[in-house]
A and B are shown apart, each in its own frame.
Chain A
Amino acid sequence: DGGITQSPKYLFRKEGQNVTLSCEQNLNHDAMYWYRQDPGQGLRLIYYSQIVNDFQKGDIAEGYSVSREKKESFPLTVTSAQKNPTAFYLCASSDGGLESDTQYFGPGTRLTVL
């Protein structure tokens, strides 16, 4: 059963703590992405990776970090430097680069900062 998985589905964090969101895909896709979704707004790109061991900042990278040590995994760390981290986080993957390949999404992780 191919697809993208994200864990956990719900995550609670105290202010000042770092937290890591998991994203795994078995679609053999080269590119992976992290988005943030806030109510009433479109998806905003945090980080993306087009190949293993390489990644680039998106539009709202401040307060976040990523790694891409394996093709199938692209974890996102929300650091204490992120001023407003409560949001729905979506991971996606695509077969190619950013320009035109369709991105397929995971089920999302809802992060709440207490």
Chain B
Amino acid sequence: GESVGLHLPTLSVQEGDNSIINCAYSNSASDYFIWYKQESGKGPQFIIDIRSNMDKRQGQRVTVLLNKTVKHLSLQIAATQPGDSAVYFCAESGYSSASKIIFGSGTRLSIRP
């Protein structure tokens, strides 16, 4: 079946450095992608989204890149801070009229002081 996955289950980054979290999706017809941040014991928080007619979108300290050729999505966090520690997961949707959002299992980002 279709799936959304992540290349790295854990990522350790020095405080102040940039973080890059990757995600692969399997359905080339997916046209909407979302990144969520989930802190321990809390619900997922929307970070940024991107549609398939774009290849880059920027927010505050975050950038999402979409490479449709290789079906790859990434989340870049600039100047990583301790508060960025969380699990990040991507989601895809939109590939059929009865489609639903498919969530990946997540990457844990930890920040070294």
Cβ of A90 and Cβ of B105 under 8 Å apart? no
Q: Is B53 an interface residue (CB 8 A)?
A: no
Cβ of B4 and Cβ of A100 under 8 Å apart? no
Cβ of A98 and Cβ of B102 under 8 Å apart? no
Q: Which interface class (under 10, 10 to 19, 20 to 34, 35 or more) fits B?
A: 20 to 34
Cβ of A107 and Cβ of B43 under 8 Å apart? yes
Partner of A40, one of B43, B44, B46, B105: B105
Q: Is A102 an interface residue (CB 8 A)?
A: yes
- CA–CA, A6 and B44, complex, Å: 13
Q: How far is the CB of B42 from chain A (nearest CB, A)?
A: 6
Cβ of B4 and Cβ of A42 under 8 Å apart? yes
Q: Give the residues in chain A near B46, CB-CB below 8 Å.
A: 102-104
Q: Give the residues in chain B near A4, CB-CB below 8 Å.
A: 43
Contact surface of B with A, Cβ cutoff 8 Å: 4, 31-32, 34, 36, 41-46, 49, 51, 89, 93-94, 97-106
Q: Give the residues in chain A near B32, CB-CB below 8 Å.
A: 99-100
- CA–CA, A45 and B93, complex, Å: 13
Q: Give the residues in chain A near B36, CB-CB below 8 Å.
A: 105
A-B contact pairs, 16 of them (CB 8 A): A41-B105, A42-B4, A42-B103, A45-B100, A90-B44, A92-B43, A98-B99, A98-B101, A100-B32, A100-B93, A102-B46, A103-B34, A103-B46, A105-B44, A107-B43, A108-B42
Q: Is A58 an interface residue (CB 8 A)?
A: yes
A42-B105 in contact given A98-B99, A105-B43, A108-B43 (Cβ < 8 Å): yes
